[in-house]
Structure 1
Amino acid sequence: MRIRYLLLNAYGTGGTIRTVFTQATTMAGLGHDVEIISTVQHKDKPNFDLDERVRLSSIVDVREPKADAPAPGLVARYRAARRERLRQRGGRIVPPGEFGYEAFNRHVEREVIRYLKSVTDGILVTTRPALNILAARYADSRLIRVAQEHMNLGTHRKDVQRAIAHYYPRFDAVAVLTNRDREDYEKLLPGTRLVRIPNAVHSMEQEQSDHTNKIALAAGRLAPQKGFDMLIPAFKKVVERHPDWQLRIFGTGKKKKELRALIEKHHLYNHVFLMGHTDEMEDELTKSSFYILSSRFEGLPMVVIEAMTHALPVISFDCPTGPADVITDGKDGMLIPPKNVDALAEAISKMMDDRELRDTMGAEALKTAQSYAPEHVHMMWEELFTDLVRTSGKSATAAA
């Protein structure tokens, strides 16, 4: 089969990117012709390793021109000026409520539409509402079209939900991450083929934590969704009892300045550290003793499952959706009422107090992660693709 995955930015660091790379590698290993297409490209190489059998291309190159590049001619300057005018105009098709709306200016929309109209064979998998909507409207009807949803329906803004209701029925299948997601989408999209396929971890061969280091870890974009503005005050409540523990928060984002100010306000500069981006997250997880998810909402929090592959117990707000689909409260982690800072602090303190609890829950977390192993999850994708070829009457092989 020829399988194409369309991402917004294959050169970023998000969980969706990593899971698509992992899935593409498995599909290539099974003998399929696989390509990842990045809507935008802002750097030369991706952050995650990609199997050499998987092709990687981009639609819109936003890298800075090389210093030794020849001066553009008259036609090139005219086209560049036209592109710049389009870049200054907001998207016309992507709903403004889409979380990635800023990336879809008029130029990007036009180029994505041009790409979608040029592809006439195989399976096209799109990976966020903006790309799903564009594919539903403009991708060739000869394609087998599959929409991936990495967020639960309730977190999408109303204009995005209206677009989902209007356009998603055009897909051959819509894949969501959890059973609760599927129930919600079924109410909105009656008659549409909906499947629940979780994301897979990239490997189960991780070094495990021994739960001795007095380090708690959190990771994600420094954005309101991730709730670090609640986690930092919660950590303040436990640090007096546990002054030898520290919290390491990995990630980058627009809220770094505000979070830094919050750390200063609570005098936590010796206890809470904004670590920025790291290419060594596996090592950082191994060095930690438990993981904390303080999100206001999630899709399926892959970083939680990645932490579990290191035998880390997880403390998480029971936010919509995902955490409760992964964590069994009291067994492999703790689920806390959403946005309850006091309860979060109490759970953190309890985990710090009890090494045996960390060991026991960590062992159960490792068992939980097994159901997200690549060999298990990716067979679900191949079975879906095979069945779509059989039932759609469309070809998934390359056109002659």
Structure 2
Amino acid sequence: MAVPSLHRRAARKAARAVVRALEARDRQRARSAPPPDGHEIRILLLHANGMGGTIRTVFNLAGQLARTHDVEIVSVVREREEPFFQVPPGVRVRYLDDRLPRRKGLLSRFPSRLVPKGEAAYHWFTLRTDLKLVRYIRSRRGGVLIGTRPGLNLIAARFAPPEIITVAQEHGNLSSHQPAVRRQIIRRYGRHDAVVTLTQADLRAYERSFEKARVDRPAVLAQVPNATPRLNGGLSPLTAKTVVTVGRLTWGKGYDLLIRAWAHVAARYPDWTLRIYGGGPRQEKLQASIDKRGLCERVFLEGPAEDVGAVLADASMFVLSSRHEGMPMAILEAMSKGVPVVSYDCPTGPKEMISHGHDGLLVKPEKIHAMADAICTLIEDEDLRRRMGANALKTAARHDLDVVGALWEDLLSGLVARRRALPPGAPLAYRPDGASEDDLQRHGHMKMPPETSTR
């Protein structure tokens, strides 16, 4: 028993020595670093060639920023030959751990030592990805680095050199992470220049958590929503007896709840169908649920949608049955086609996107009968469906890509200006001691306290 203990102590001692060496190196780099510059933007993404809302959102943002910046998406892994979504013009994609050759190497056999086990994507990370990520981050000599999930943000917080402006973007919400992950987030995110949430509700959750923990917090906490993507096809005529939903077939998306609700809808309106677009690990279980309830001719698992715009243009209603979300882009996609939305009022996002009774209907989370009744309400009342569809178009316009892109430009230019105002090697975050709400300066969606502490 003593030998493993000695090994662990030796490993911890070696790790502390490495950290001290990096800190000493960073102090030297900080003294000789050039003025901060936001022209180069690098966005860390888990797997750029996959499918899902986060990837679509990142591609949209990258394309918008590429109009005025040098933008590269840095994909941690590559397990698919080509991207599922079209890479925007002016955007490059770099892969750190290319797994297509199927020769992963010795280091790929060991789990990550830098990503907490409770992170939802922990199984994607290995010791090889740890080293590839750290090597890439340490190689940067300027610009902005944006992380898009906790594992990536935590590594960037620990290893980003002082020349780099780092932004931790939250695509889910704080409460959806495991407790151990949340503890690391609150402990380490103060090293970032900014933390960006999708919703005001999540922004307040971060503020409360930093305040309660009495730890360093980022100098900037900001809320920037998702943008409405520009899709193919025209508006929906709202005449098809079709309800659609789009998303990964995972537990969090709540399609098991939706199928149960549809059993009640089908009993009242057997000529309407539900089409679920997406792939994922729960496909067999969902199909079994459909078969069990005799819904084979009423509910269809369609697989991934190659053209989301065309799918939505052929629908008369969109349903979101998620147990939790960040800010679901699928709602904005549906609204941009003039399609009204029925959604569970899950944390977070739907309540800030849907005005109940105006452009959609909100339903108490995970309530089967309430979801069925809301769907039937829009099936029964075509005039209401059309009014909500028209209002949904106006809601989507408020999240236009140009509008959201301007928020990001404003945020990034503010971070660069703030960094340039600091002396070399000055701290980035601020400590809560002595700071009050009166000390906070508001700038758009941002909260920017003037005091600072160490990265």
- Counterpart of 1:48 in structure 2 is 85
Secondary structure of 2:398's partner? helix
- Corresponding position of 1:161: 182
Which segment is superposed worse, 182-191 or 283-292?
A: 182-191
- Is residue 286 of structure 2 the alignment partner of residue 259 of structure 1? yes
Mapped pair 1:38 → 2:88: no
Identify which of 239, 243, 246 aligns with 1:216. Answer: 243
Q: Between Structure 1 and Structure 2, whose CA radius of gyration is higher?
A: 2
Shift of 1:43: 2.3
Within 5 Å, give how 1:165-244 maps onto structure 2. Answer: 165-190=186-211, 191-192=217-218, 193-203=220-230, 207-244=234-271
Following superposition, the deviation at residue 321 of structure 1 comes to 0.6
Instruction: Describe the superposition over 1:242-264 as per-residue Cα deviations: whole angstroms up to 9, x where unpaired.
Output: 11100000111111111010000
DSSP 3-state at the match of 1:300: coil
CA gap 1:237/1:306 in 2 versus in 1, 3 angstroms: same
The answer to whether the Cα contact below 8 Å between 2:255 and 2:286 also exists between their aligned partners in 1 is yes
- Distance in 2 separating the partners of 1:196 and 1:204: 24
Alignment-derived partner of residue 35 in structure 2: none
Structure 1 partner of 2:380: 353
Q: C-alpha separation between the residues in 1 aligned to 2:421 and 2:42?
A: 15
Please, which of 37, 42, 64 is the counterpart of residue 4 of structure 1? 42
What corresponds to 1:126 in structure 2?
Answer: 147
Q: Is the 8 A contact 2:231 2:309 kept in 1?
A: no
1:58 to 95, 109, 128: 95
Amino acid in structure 2 at the alignment position of 1:225: G
Work out which of the residue numbers 59, 63, 70 in structure 2 matches 1:25: 63
Contact 2:74 2:93 in 1 (8 A): yes
Q: Which runs of 5+ in 2 are unaligned?
A: 1-38, 212-216, 423-455
Aligned partners of 1:337 and 1:343 also within 8 Å: yes
Q: Tell me which amino acid in the other structure corresponds to 2:246.
A: A
**Matches of 2:137 and 2:359, distance apart in 1:** 43
Report Cα offsets for 1:199-229 as digits up to 9, x if no partner.
Answer: 1122277511111000000111111100011
**Per-residue Cα deviation, 1:37-85 (whole angstroms, up to 9, x for no partner):** 11111223212222332111110101136xxxxxxxxxxxxxx6xx533
Alpha-carbon distance in structure 2 between the residues aligned to 1:154 and 1:102: 21
CA-CA distance at 1:128 after TM superposition: 0.5
Judging changes above 3 Å, is the alpha-carbon distance between structure 1 residues 242 and 50 closer, same or farther for their aligned structure 2 residues? Answer: same
Structure 1 runs of 4+ with >3 Å offset: none
1:335 paired residue among 351, 362, 377: 362
Letter aligned with residue 199 of structure 2? T
Instruction: Report SS of the residue matched to 1:37.
Output: strand
SS in 2 for 1:344: helix
Displacement after TM superposition at 1:3 (Å): 0.8
> 2 CA distance for matches of 1:167 and 1:281?
38
Aligned ranges 1:321-400 → 2 under 5 Å: 321-393=348-420
1:130-145 alignment, distance < 5 Å: 130-145=151-166
**Structure 2 CA distance for aligned equivalents of residues 167 and 306 of structure 1:** 34
Counterpart residue identity of residue 24, structure 1: A
Say which of 51, 72, 77 aligns to 1:13. 51
Structure 1 position 150, deviation (Å): 0.7
> What do residues 83-114 of structure 1 show as CA deviations (whole Å, max 9, x unaligned)?
53322222212111111111012211121111
Contact 2:189 2:195 in 1 (8 A): yes
Mapped contact 1:295–1:319 kept (Cα < 8 A): yes
Kindly indicate whether the alpha-carbon contact (under 8 Å) linking 1:19 and 1:201 is maintained by their aligned counterparts in 2: no
Paired with 1:189 and 1:169, the residues of 2 have a C-alpha distance of 9
CA drift of 1:119 comes to 1.1
Identity %: 42
Contact 2:169-2:195 within 8 A present in 1 as well: yes
Which stretch of the first structure deviates more once superposed, 53-62 or 267-276?
53-62
Q: Secondary structure at the match of 1:279?
A: coil
CA, structure 1 residues 228+253, in 2 after alignment: closer, same or farther (shift >3 Å)?
same
2:341 equivalent to 1:311: no
Q: SS of the residue aligned with 1:23? A: helix
For residues 283-305 of structure 1, the C-alpha deviation after alignment (integer angstroms, 9 at most, x for no partner) is 01000000000000000011111
Report which stretch shifted further, 45-54 or 275-284.
45-54
Whether the 8 Å CA contact 1:144–1:394 is kept in 2: the answer is no
Counterpart amino acid of 2:94?
S
The separation in 2 between residues aligned to 1:237 and 1:204, in whole angstroms, is 32
The alignment's TM-score, normalised by the length of structure 1, stands at 0.92
Query: For residues 298 and 84 of structure 1, what CA distance do their matches in structure 2 show?
Result: 36
TM-score normalised according to structure 2 size: 0.81
C-alpha distance 233-85 of structure 1, shift in aligned 2 (>3 A): same
